[in-house]
Structure 1
Amino acid sequence: MRYFTFFCIVFLCGQSFSQSGFRLVQTERTKVKFQLIDNLIIIPVEINGSKFSFILDSGVSKPILFNIISSSDSLKFKNIESIYIRGLGDGESTEALKSRNNIFKIGDAVNINQDVFIISDQNINFTPRLGIPVHGIIGYDVFRDFIVEINYGSKFIRLNDPETFKYKTCKKCETLDLTLYNNKPFIDAIVEVKGGDVPVKLLMDSGGSDALWLFEDDSLGLVPEIDNYFVDFLGKGLSGSVHGKRSKLKRFSIKGFHINNLNVAYPDSAAVSFARKYKERSGSMAGELLKRFNIIMDYKNTTVTFKKNRHFNDPFEYNKSGIVLEQDGVRIVKERDQGSQYKNEQSHEQTSRLSVIEAFKFTLKPAFRIVELRPGSPAETAGLKLGDIILRINNKEVHTLILQEVNSFFRDKEGNLIKLKIDRDGVIMSFHFRLESLW
């Protein structure tokens, strides 16, 4: 499974609820369907009349746009200034353009005076890792102005007017206090490690697809057990790649909800040094955990309500192959044309024969390239290399699948055989290996 982490960016903006911002148009609520891709919420957002796909990221302070070269002319941004922003990753700060007074629309919610940060660096583009077009991220501005219901089970969000929203009686729900720091939501939880129960303060990070990140702390016992972890690529942030240790955690608890034997990652300290400036923070509760609940985020009253959904008991999966794929450009594929032609032939004996003439067509299909390869993994041991393009997996032509379907093969049961046909610089090669569990 590919894991992503998005941006923990600190901007100089207050935590008060200003009179400007998103407003509902002639309604008290609006419902917006979303796609759930690698545990990330992808919602439709309209900017200055143009339509885009955004990640709903509770860990980001202001909307960020990227991957918009084809649309930048029609957007006609104004009131632009140049700034530098910083996010997760082991790289440097990134230059961005700040534009004011833009019109944002999400469902029936409209903001006619929205700031947005535009990144032109084409290396910052998360579409290849997700396999669908993604143009930006948005977070605080939505959560600030509404009571936001996130229904992971039915894949929709509902934006409610805080003045008219009424909570329903829910005996199966748990409500926790939210701490807002730099416009980001934090909750208190308990993790069970070798030394016992440890209280932790976690960012609720809908922009990360892992289950749980913990910052290593020897004094609290927040470290992976010896011989029960492996080093891996954890994700890609605004400031570069994030690597760290993957392991298992005995138990995670928020009030009356308990989850056992879950995945946990410990990111390299250098990659999250910026995020650790909030001294009380112990890590992040991200998409693989969040999707097990339907959630009501209430920034105005600084509370969050959890209710278990149908995903609560889903197994925690991870990539057992060591391969991370990216949708990188296109390749030409020869396909059978369904509109085969029929030809009626008549011989000199006046008998007829019907012949079928098969027709083929050449089409452009996404190319899935290996961009990360865990050292010592089954895939690397079998001989796979960075840059290899996968053509076929377990007798299925890859061009008939979406990226998420290809990745699902790598999350299957330990011992499953993976057979790959790949293109390496124009040479077609075959490889096979078995999925290997590392704990």
Structure 2
Amino acid sequence: MLLCPSLNVAQPARRWYARGLVCLVLVLSALAGPAQSLPFRFTNERLHRLKRPFVLQRNLIVLTASLNGKGPYNFLLDTGVGISLITDPSLRDELKLRVGQRFRVAGAGSEAALEAFHTDSVRVELPGVVGPNIPFLVLSEDVLNLSNYVGTTIHGILGYDLFRSFVVTVRPAEASLIFSDPAHYRKPLSQRWAHLPLELEGSKTYITTPVSLSDSLTLPLKLILDTGAGHALSIETTSDPRLVLPPQRLRTQLGRGLNGFINGYLGRVAAIQLGRYRLKTLLTSFPDADNVALRAGVPRNGNIGFELLKRFDMVINYDKNYLLLRPNALFREPFEHDMCGFELLATGPDYRRYVIVQVQPGSPAALAGLRSDDELVFINMAPSNSLTLTQVSRVFHSADGRQIMLVVRRADGELYIAKIQLKRQI
């Protein structure tokens, strides 16, 4: 995404919210500005530690917060954004937001640029935590359609300001966060925790770690730490001539950017080393070169997302510049792609209507006669509206060769029965 104010050009930025994942990269260091005081604090000044639950939806952390005393609103928690975002434009009038500097926002895709504006002095409250004066960038249109991809209403994204205020411990298997006062935080002594240095450049954090592209080639790659990316790993082949596409790969639509869809390939790398822990046969996105041409000014090779990170309990410490990782109950889950071959969007007032928006040619879904605009009615005799989008997605990622029976409603109202055999395509 490229932000172009009336006089200056801010740092370019991108993130992908990929097909079943959502991915958008935002680097807005120019707006975030230097840290003078911590933007968030505990509402009880005697507290040094606070534990809060979150909801994990399609590999994304969803938190509830109130803004200017109204809400609750749902926000993604994302280390990949330099300034927090309001993606639902209806909040502008509802919260009586002050309109500041305006931007034209352009990015990957062919659609027209949209307008956004900067606003400040927004009071953000999470249970037990308050940010009295938080700046936001407000989009004029909800072009990311995060609610449809996540399957629940999403109003925006919280990022850098929250992470620089606290040491944040993320426990994905139990869906909980712990906010700790940096001045009182003590690093755990257990040897099970792997320690990785964090590089904080602008308002984004990076790790540099060995990635085995194949059995014969291992390179140290600089990767954005990106809790707001639903994929496991993304590699930009334009960042180093030694980074090439894997021989076995799947051409696919990786996701939606601010101005259109982002295309590329899915493949696998042999392994990634994270401290003492090694993860093998990692599903990896390789976006097309023209989708990453407008990269952030800080050189990097890609990003590491929550499909990988969720396998660890994490301690993210911006104050001391380190990341701690400890395997959790999700550690041994395989890295799998959708084995059906269609893309779903959640619609309806409760996001429990699931409509096919794209069918991959030659996929099990295509061979079973499924089409765009088909609406799922039953999945293996269970009403589809009894399942969350996350649960539906798990069915189609479940096992190579598994038989699935679907009942879909066609655009003309006719019901159609499809028998699908899942197939691992990559």
Q: Determine if the alignment matches structure 1 residue 134 to structure 2 residue 154.
A: yes
Match of 2:342 among 323, 326, 348: 323
1:208 aligns with 2:229: yes
Residue of structure 1 aligned with 2:88, choices 57, 62, 67: 67
Q: Describe the SS at the equivalent of 1:141.
A: helix
CA distance in 2, matches of 1:287, 1:115: 25
Distance 1:48 1:310, change over 3 A: same
Is 1:288 matched up with 2:307?
Answer: yes
Q: Give yes or no for contact 1:418–1:432 (8 Å, CA) kept in 2.
A: yes
- Report matched runs for 1:154-169 at 5 Å: 154-169=174-189
Q: Alignment partner of 1:275: what SS?
A: coil
Task: Write the letter of the residue equivalent to 2:138.
Answer: I
Larger Rg: 1
Question: Structure 1 residues 79-88 or 132-141, which shifts more?
Answer: 79-88
Counterpart selection for 1:145 from 154, 165, 175: 165
Check whether the contact 1:201–1:282 (CA below 8 A) recurs between aligned residues.
yes
1:33–1:157 Cα contact (<8 Å) kept:
yes
- Aligned ranges for residues 409-420 of structure 1 at < 5 Å? 409-420=395-406
1:435/1:55 Cα in 2 relative to 1: closer, same or farther (>3 Å)? same
Q: Does residue 21 of structure 1 match 2:42?
A: no
> Secondary structure of 2:189's match?
coil
Structure 2 Cα separation of the partners of residues 201 and 95 of structure 1: 32
Q: Which segment is superposed worse, 207-216 or 170-179? A: 170-179
Could you tell me whether the CA contact under 8 Å between 2:38 and 2:164 is conserved in 1?
A: no
- Aligned twin of 1:378: 364
CA distance in 2 between partners of 1:161 and 1:312 (Å) = 28
2:352 equivalent to 1:314: no
1:90 is displaced (CA, Å) by 6.2
Q: Map residues 386-425 of structure 1 onto 2, 5 A cutoff.
A: 386-425=372-411
Do residues 112 (structure 1) and 132 (structure 2) align? yes
Partners of 1:311 and 1:134 in 2: CA distance: 25
State whether structure 2 residue 222 is matched by structure 1 residue 191: no
Q: Which residue in 2 is equivalent to 1:94?
A: 114
Q: Deviation per CA, 1:116-163: give whole Å up to 9, x if none.
A: 122231433210111111111011011112111112222111221111
In structure 2, relative to structure 1, the CA distance for the partners of 1:72 and 1:95 (3 Å cut) is closer
Between the aligned partners of 1:109 and 1:156, the Cα distance in structure 2 is: 15
What TM-score do you get using the length of structure 1 for normalisation? 0.86
| RMSD value, Cα | 2.2
Letter in 2 for 1:328: T
SS of equivalent to 1:404 = helix
After superposing the two structures, state which structure 1 stretch, 133-142 or 235-244, moved more. 235-244
Contact 1:223 1:266 in 2 (8 A): no
Task: Report the Cα offset of residue 52 of structure 1.
Answer: 0.7
C-alpha change, 1:14 and 1:417, in structure 2 (3 Å) is closer
Residues of 2 paired with 1:117 and 1:365: CA distance?
26
- Post-superposition Cα deviations, 1:311-349, rounded to whole Å, max 9, x if no partner, equal 11111122011111111236xxxxxxxxxxxxxxxxxxx
Task: Say which SS state the counterpart of residue 352 (structure 2) adopts.
Answer: strand
Cα deviation code 1:52-110 (max 9, x no counterpart): 111001100111112353x5544121254422345666656431122111101123221
Q: Is the 8 A contact 1:9 1:86 kept in 2?
A: no
Q: 2:61 aligns with which of 41, 47, 56?
A: 41
- The 10-residue stretch of structure 1 (150-159 or 182-191) with the greater mean CA deviation from structure 2: 150-159
Mapping 1:356-371, distance limit 5 Å: 366-371=352-357
Q: Secondary structure at the match of 1:97?
A: strand
Counterpart amino acid of residue 210 in structure 1: H
8 Å contact 1:82–1:96 — kept in the other structure?
yes
147-156 vs 87-96, greater mean Cα deviation: 87-96
Q: What is the rounded CA distance, in whole Å, between the counterparts of 1:269 and 1:161 in structure 2?
A: 41
- Aligned to 2:237, the other structure's residue is in SS state coil
AA in 2 matched with 1:121? E
Contact 2:119/2:136 (CA < 8 Å) preserved in 1?
A: yes
Cα pair distance change 1:266/1:86, threshold 3 Å = same
Contact kept? 1:250, 1:262, Cα under 8 Å: yes
Answer whether contact 1:67 1:125 (CA < 8 A) is retained.
Answer: no
1:13 CA drift (Å): 4.2
Partner of 2:285: 265
Amino acid at match of 2:135: D
Partner residue of 1:435 out of 407, 419, 422: 422
**199-208 or 215-224: which moved more?**
215-224
**Partners of 2:404 and 2:103 in 1: CA distance:** 46
Contact 1:212/1:285 (8 A) holds in 2: yes
* 2-structure distance, mates of 1:205, 1:67: 22
Distance 1:132 1:12, change over 3 A: same
Distance 1:388 1:300, change over 3 A: same
Residue identity in the other structure for 1:393: I
Q: Distance in 2 between matches of 1:242 and 1:389?
A: 24
Q: Work out the CA distance in 2 between the residues paired with 1:20 and 1:254.
A: 30
Equivalent position SS for 2:246 = coil
Q: Is 1:124 matched with 2:144?
A: yes
- Distance change (3 Å), C-alpha of 1:74 and 1:293: same
Q: Is the 8 A contact 1:90 1:242 kept in 2?
A: no
TM (norm. structure 2) is 0.88
Letter in 2 for 1:105: E
Distance 1:320 1:189 in 2: 30
Question: 1:296 deviation in Å?
Answer: 1.2
| Counterpart secondary structure, 1:153 | helix
